[in-house]
Structure 1
Amino acid sequence: MIGNLTLDQLRVLVTIAENGSFSAAGRKLRRAQSAISQAVATLEEVHGVTLFDRAGHRPRLTGVGRVLVGQARVVLAGANHFEAMAAATREGIEPELAVAIDPLVPTTAFIDSLHALRAAFPHLPVSFSTEGLGGAERRLRRGEAALAFCILLPTVPEDIAALPLLGVDLVSVVAPVHPLARLGRAATREDLDEHVQLVLTDPSAPDGPSYGVMSTKPWRFVELGRRLDFLLAGLGWCRMPDYLVAPLLTEGRLVPLPIEDDPARASGALTIYASHMRDRSLGRAGAWLLDDLKARFV
């Protein structure tokens, strides 16, 4: 019961509209036509509206009837979704799956798994948020995300279960108009120190540890896209994910910046992990997604 409404009354109204007559609705719902007529009459009487024009051979929806049929469909769809979610929860599926992702993570790598998750759990609400550097891990710790695709630096914390999925290579690049692009040799630390380095920063700890910073003139960014804008404008140099700058290198909008004794080259690719807190078990959908990722990447 919803106030003076019942879902059954709304279902009768929609069925009449979809099947064209009271008798057809009765056959569809396996009820006597008199029961269908009574349900409509009760709706009209209680709410003081006329849903059908009965002057012709067949009752036709009035203007208000057409509008209310649309509203009835919305209510019925919501009720069906409610029932599906309640049934899923009884089966151990979490009521919502929150996923967080760090800015350096290539989201396209996970699209197939997310499509598969939607197909396997069609009624599961999934929230997906892109965070600043370190934000995905913070969401995990605060319980705001069950699963995170993230980079864990300097090492994987002991309280986080982390499945390594893929590596992302960072390449040093600069706009062709920048002075560093015209050196004609590998840049030294002294060369780099004279120019701005565009650095991706954890917004919650701007003075925290800095990885790969080689300039005394860092400009700090939270958004990868905004940093790219400054890079293309020739306002500094930085290390960017290879998958992101590859087309820009091909087009000549960026050029590689070789660095003498570059420590980033020795450390290799950054590892992308699928992570969750060890003391908070994943629900059925989260565990399913993790297994799907294993099958695709590991």
Structure 2
Amino acid sequence: MNITQDRSRLNSRIMWAVVTAVIIVLAALSLFPFLWMILTSFKSAEEINRMPPTVWPQSWHFSNYVHAWTKPESGFGRYFGNTLIVAGIGTLLQLVVCIPVAYAVSHFRFKGRGFIFALVVSTMMIPYDITLIPNFVTLRHIPFAGGNDWLGNGGQGFYDSYMGMMLPFFADAFTIFLLRQAFQSIPRDYWEAAQVDGMNHFRYLCTVLLPLSMPPLITASLLAFIGKWNGVLWPLLITSSESLRPLQVGLLYFVSEEGPNYQHLMAASTFTILPIVVLYFLCQKWFHAGVASTGIKG
């Protein structure tokens, strides 16, 4: 009996060691490109093109970051500001729209509720690229916006504006789905107790439901913010002014302008992704809790 137990423990330890080794190797392979990007951003052009290549910079060129930050006409500081406006305000307004919808389909009892929710969720199956042109035409011809008349003609609508970059994403099916799952996981006894205290739906949502749903709410906010931060195709289509470019569009133009100056490209790439990496590490506890509480497997 003892021999069998010892063998079982030995097999478990071997399995644990193998799994740990595989995880370490995969983590190293995943992190190496980012480490290489950061180290390359401090190298000179001559050292980057040297064969065999060097991993650690022989001399640290912090001027690469200064060049990358100031090279665009408006500078990456302006691009960061544009992105913070679009991602920050856009995420806030997205939650303002999606939270009431998620509450309605999870707490109100009305005919067709399931069909409406299924219809909303089904929009996630529509490829993103298909919606680009319809959204563009709609925003360009919105009545009374950007000099348009009541028929949507004569002006440019929300073309080349902050609102144009944000508006199509206010109603997001995945955010509605995520919050609906979170709201349904909270026992209905809370609502019955709130009714005894004289609460209406709005007060119950703000003072009871949202505080209890904070991890999924942070998860939805983080996913929405990252999606807007990394947006390229839609901002590239809906804007033309250089001063309105968000970060990723500015980086796209910077790559075409810099050409083979990889030290500047790596510097720009590093300070472009750094805020999102920091944000994730600050919010990862709530992110994991939100995913777990809504039953989403990844």
Q: What TM bracket, shorter-length normalisation? A: under 0.3
Higher relative contact order (CA 8 A, sep 6+): 2
Which is higher, the Rg of structure 1 or of structure 2?
1
